[in-house]
Chains A and B, each alone.
Chain A
Amino acid sequence: MKDWQEISKDVLAEALKEETDNPKIIVSVLGKDQVGIIAEITAVIASLGGNIIDINQTIFRELFSMNMVLDISKTPEPFSKFKEELEAKGKELGLMVLAQREDTFTKMHRV
């Protein structure tokens, strides 16, 4: 077996393993662009002990769009608490904020 095969064997298996036991949370924020959206939303997440492991943000014309991947496995706060507080913050800012399990998207869009 070549070197790269030897090394990648286990790493690839690990990387390709479906993360079923620790489902991640996707937070989506959509709305009219304004100053400080990321600061406000991430403050909520930090206060609950959520860990942001990926983030993507763009502006389509005036539409602010952000997706974040959260790991909440290391905080005692339940998913429902995150959902509640993030959605409340969204209302306050006049934005649509959704928190959903990542599998909703992976299952729908990936074979």
Chain B
Amino acid sequence: MRISPREILETIKMVELEHFDIRTVTMGISLRDCARPSIDALCEAIYEKIVTKAANLVSVANDIEKEFGIPIINKRISVTPIALLADSLEEDNLTKVAQTLDKAAKEVGVNFIGGFSALIEKGFTKGDRRLLNSIPEALASTERVCSSINVASTRAGINMDAVGLMGKVIKETALKTAQNDGIGCAKLVVFCNIPEDNPFMAGALHGVSEAETVINIGVSGPGVVRNAISSIPKKDFGVLAETIKRTAFKITRAGELIGREASRRLGVEFGIVDLSLAPTPAVGDSVAEILETMGIDRCGGPGTTAALALLNDAVKKGGAMASCYVGGLSGAFIPVSEDAGMVRAVEENVLTLQKLEAMTAVCSVGLDMIALPGDTEAATISGIIADEMAIGVINKKTTAVRAIPVPGKKAGDHVEFGGLLGSSPIMNVSQVSCQSFVDRGGRIPAPLQSLIN
């Protein structure tokens, strides 16, 4: 049977009226063959490899967008964690490498490139330390480079030395980009259990177990889910979950279709579809509004964590059937500044940092795009990171912190990051010090995998 007019109209409505789109087509590129002792030779090898492999990424994505009629918002690149290439270098400062990534991203026309990264959940090598020390200058002197640092995992526990150091790196990055409200920190994420195939920024990297090049897809569609829910206002939770599952199926199938087509045309292996519901600052494209449509007057109120848990689980169940390969973060995103509903809930003092932390226990990305007072101590940021890492380690899931201590701003002030990064009120942070806790150093041991209560 040919496709029915009803099905055609439904898709058109999703795209034209409910902001449905493919959020990102991300090409993962291995740079493992680029390692060189001299930094200039390393940069040359990296640049050549990226501009060769991704030469057609943007034009192919644009063609597919036209043919299939589904907008592809971002084209991006993830690369091998740069720290792995830094061990054998004759140079300590990796800023030049970040600038090379930036230049390559501009050359091929992608808006972000991820992988200025290190995996240090257990400990540091020389290259890891070089990378961490280079972050503030690297992010201040580039536009499109994103950095992600994995400091904890369920198998390794939490590297508290790394957590302590990242508190300082975040502060320094904010200060180095003070003229732009600390925007460098919006491109820097601290992870627990980082996925190796995540297509979304700022946390995308091309994991060490990945193929030479790969195409990963991130879908979107909070507006579609919200509209589907608003059509069943009084139905019970079984119907609610089923409605979300059906919607997630459709959204994910579109992602799978676009991903397969992109991988075929580029001659690159298809990796995964990431099932995450990713909001944007646009009105009607908000995860918070989905929770509110379920029946909670304002995101952050009692019931919010349960609503989010239901949403996250139903999206995964519907999405898992729609794609052969699901991966990445695959959970609802709750970035504060990038979600108009979250911003409103913070402005009304309903959504607090504490409630957000609870919400991160049942979805994927953790404390994301939270603007903090500029005078927040490095140790306090490390404490916030440690809490978030503990949630991920114990619950065997990915969590992360992307916090921006905005220089010169205090709680209640407003900050404007612009574009997809949105705007946000500065959130209130507890003044209780955890300096002595962070200063202990060492590692928090990996947890038991039994006795799991």
Contact = CB atoms under 8 A, between A and B. Distances in A.
A99 B70 CA distance: 11
Contacts of B419: none
Interface in A59-97: 65, 67, 69, 79-80, 83, 96
B235 interface: no
Interface string A87-111: 0000000001011111111111111
A36 B379 CA distance: 71
Contact of B67 (A28, A100, A106, A107): A100
B14 to A, nearest CB: 8
Contacts of A101: 67-69
A56 interface: yes
B452 interface: no
Given A30-B12, A98-B12, A98-B69, A65 B5 contact: yes
Given A79-B67, A80-B66, A107 B7 contact: no
Interface string B1-44: 01101011111100010000000000000000000000000000
A69 B67 contact: no
A26 B253 contact: no
A105 B12 CA distance: 9
B257 interface: yes
Given A56-B5, A107-B254, A28 B66 contact: no
A76 B299 CA distance: 54
Nearest to A80: B66
A47 B12 CA distance: 26
A104 B70 contact: yes
A3 interface: no
A105 B250 CA distance: 9
Given A99-B69, A101-B68, A103-B68, A108 B12 contact: no
B11 A104 contact: yes
Contact of B11 (A56, A69, A105): A105
Contact of A28 (B8, B68, B256): B8
A99 B67 CA distance: 8
A105 B3 contact: yes
B69 A109 contact: no
Contacts of A79: 67
A67 B11 CA distance: 13
A7 B10 CA distance: 37
A71 to B, nearest CB: 12
A26 B254 CA distance: 16
B10 A104 contact: no
A100 B5 contact: no
A58 interface: yes
A38 B68 CA distance: 23
Contacts of B68: 100-101, 103-104
Contacts of B66: 80, 83
A87 B347 CA distance: 42
A108 B11 contact: yes
Contacts of A102: 3
A103 B254 CA distance: 9
Contacts of B7: 105, 108-109
Contacts of A65: 5, 9
A105 B2 CA distance: 10
Contact of A104 (B2, B5, B254, B321): B254
Contacts of B11: 104-105, 108-109
B10 A109 contact: yes
A21 interface: no
Contacts of B256: 107
Nearest to B12: A28
Nearest to A63: B9
A65 B10 CA distance: 12
Contacts of B16: 96
Given A102-B3, A104-B70, A108-B250, 20 more contacts: A28-B12, A54-B2, A56-B5, A65-B5, A67-B5, A79-B67, A83-B66, A96-B16, A98-B69, A100-B68, A101-B69, A103-B68, A104-B68, A104-B69, A105-B7, A108-B254, A109-B7, A109-B10, A109-B11, A109-B250
17 contacts: A26-B3, A26-B8, A28-B8, A30-B9, A58-B5, A65-B9, A67-B5, A105-B3, A105-B7, A105-B8, A107-B253, A107-B254, A108-B11, A109-B3, A109-B11, A109-B250, A110-B3
Closest 8 CB pairs of A and B: A100-B69, A109-B7, A105-B3, A107-B257, A104-B68, A108-B250, A107-B253, A108-B253
Interface of A: 26, 28, 30, 54, 56, 58, 65, 67, 69, 79-80, 83, 96, 98-111
